[in-house]
Amino acid sequence: MTAKKFARTVIAGGAALALLAGCSSGGGDTDGKITLDVWTFGGMGLDEAFATYQEENPNIILKVTNAGGSDEQAQALTTALAGGKGPDVAAIEVGYMSQFKAQPQNFVDLRTLGSDDIESSFLDWRWSQGVAADGSVVGIPTDVGGLAMAYRTDLFEAAGLPSDRDEVSALWPTWDDFIEVGAEYRAATGKGMIDNVNSAIFNPAVRQGSEMYYGDGDDDLIYETNPDVQEAFGYALDAIDADISSRTPSWSEAWNAGMNNGDFAVLAAPAWMMTYISQQAPDTSGKWDIAAVPENAGNWGGSQLAIPAKSDHPEEAFAFIEWLMSPERQLEIFQAHGNFPSTPELYDTEDIQNFTSEFFNDAPVGPIYANSVASIEPIFEGPQQRIIDTAILNSLSQVENGEEPAADAWSTALKNVKTALGG
């Protein structure tokens, strides 16, 4: 190699390195200030808390990116991690958590930053959703969904059903009773009582046991044999048979319209859904109320906050998460946005016990949601959790839409799960 060639190589190499360096340092730290890159998605209700933290910590610059929905956020995070990058703090919706925590090497094990000290303040089953199979703590819980049934008092009265929330809760202590009420509603009004069987029946029911699709390890697949899964599946089929569904897919335009138009009278509502309903159907204020979910336990949604392994400031990121998810902060978030705290020490306080919702006919939503999350058992979720879930739910939707006979539904579901896992 001649001197000239050598010099050229060095220059080219240097330029390439400079390019790489320019790409990898996401936020340059200027004037001794530290930039924390925070990735969230819509509906988390954290904006005011971010502003407060920014005011209280002038040395930290929060750079918040809202990806839109939880699916977009999961895809953005996947792409970033695959490219060896990522933010300092990433929100991951629980539905995606099992996929991410199956690869814990992408994240800082929060035990190294002191997560053991705060573990006891969270619901144990909720905490476990952020713990990987090897025991490393990948994510700190944000809010907890909890589960209740939001129902329309006006439509219940028109159908000749009781409309008082305690009486309504008493109507359906079990899922069989719930389906029975739906059949009465159909007979009286000719309409479906629930939005769809996946959201209103299968999802809540299947999470009321202690196991779902996995036993106690990544390789211990029990979706086929677990009686809880078959039972929940059976309830959904019974509900379709009794014709209690309005066949309105969740998150569709028709769903949003239906909240206004009274196409359905009952909606499985985790705490964060209260804000969604009040935004989608503002004119129905006071016509909704909240009753207990059958079997009185359930959860839908919530997220974990994780720190990708490539973060330059894991300590600062963890301190931020610790502050953000402290009981005091979670209470403020709940009061402003309805996202229910995952820290049970708050549940017996007056702030929660006396919390009512004007939109929902002054229902005491604080104690209702506190009750729904108290009796939940931790469920182990393996890496293919969401894939299995999708296959089973799709099979139920096919029956609900009249595209497949109910008799074949379970075997179709199993076949679809096997295809999905084999692929």
Which residues are CB-contacts of 276 (< 8 A; sequence separation ≥ 6)?
Answer: 43
**Shortest Cβ distance from residue 142 to other proteins (Å)?**
19
Measured from the CB atom, is 174 or 419 closer to other proteins?
419
**Shortest Cβ distance from residue 191 to other proteins (Å)?**
11
Measured from the CB atom, is 228 or 389 closer to other proteins?
389
**Shortest Cβ distance from residue 92 to other proteins (Å)?**
12
Angstrom CA distances, 209 to 145, 206, 248, 297, stand at: 17, 7, 27, 10
Number of H-type helices and E-type strands within the chain: 20, 8
Closest CA to 147 of 214, 70, 207, 91: 207
- Contact present, 304 and 122 (Cβ < 8 Å): no
Measured from the CB atom, is 102 or 222 closer to other proteins?
102
Measured from the CB atom, is 284 or 394 closer to other proteins?
394
3-state helix, strand, coil in the chain (%, to 5): 50, 15, 35
253-261 and 273-280 helices cross at what angle (nearest 10)?
70
Measured from the CB atom, is 123 or 409 closer to other proteins?
409
**Shortest Cβ distance from residue 63 to other proteins (Å)?**
22
Measured from the CB atom, is 44 or 291 closer to other proteins?
44
How many Cβ atoms from other residues are within 10 Å of residue 170's Cβ?
Answer: 13
**Shortest Cβ distance from residue 348 to other proteins (Å)?**
36
**Shortest Cβ distance from residue 310 to other proteins (Å)?**
12
**Shortest Cβ distance from residue 396 to other proteins (Å)?**
8
Paired sense of beta strands 266-269 and 148-152, if any: antiparallel
Residues that bind other proteins (CB under 8 A): 69, 71, 75, 78-79, 81-82, 99-100, 102-103, 105-106, 247-248, 251, 253-254, 257, 263, 387, 390, 393-398, 401-404, 419-420, 422-423
CA–CA gap between residue 310 and residue 313 (Å, rounded): 9
**Shortest Cβ distance from residue 377 to other proteins (Å)?**
27
Measured from the CB atom, is 12 or 336 closer to other proteins?
12
Phi, then psi, of 29 in degrees rounded to 5: -90, 115
**Shortest Cβ distance from residue 247 to other proteins (Å)?**
8
Beta bridge partners of 53: none
Considering Cα of 54, then 57, then 59, then 65, what sign does the dihedral take? negative
Measured from the CB atom, is 244 or 365 closer to other proteins?
244
Phi, then psi, of 283 in degrees rounded to 5: -75, -10
Which residues are CB-contacts of 320 (< 8 A; sequence separation ≥ 6)?
Answer: 36, 38, 53, 60, 62, 89
Measured from the CB atom, is 106 or 136 closer to other proteins?
106
3-state SS, residue 387: helix
Measured from the CB atom, is 79 or 354 closer to other proteins?
79
Distance in angstroms between the alpha carbons of the first and the last residue of the chain:
50
How many Cβ atoms from other residues are within 10 Å of residue 195's Cβ?
Answer: 25
**Shortest Cβ distance from residue 80 to other proteins (Å)?**
9
- Contact present, 96 and 70 (Cβ < 8 Å): yes
- Contact present, 243 and 183 (Cβ < 8 Å): yes
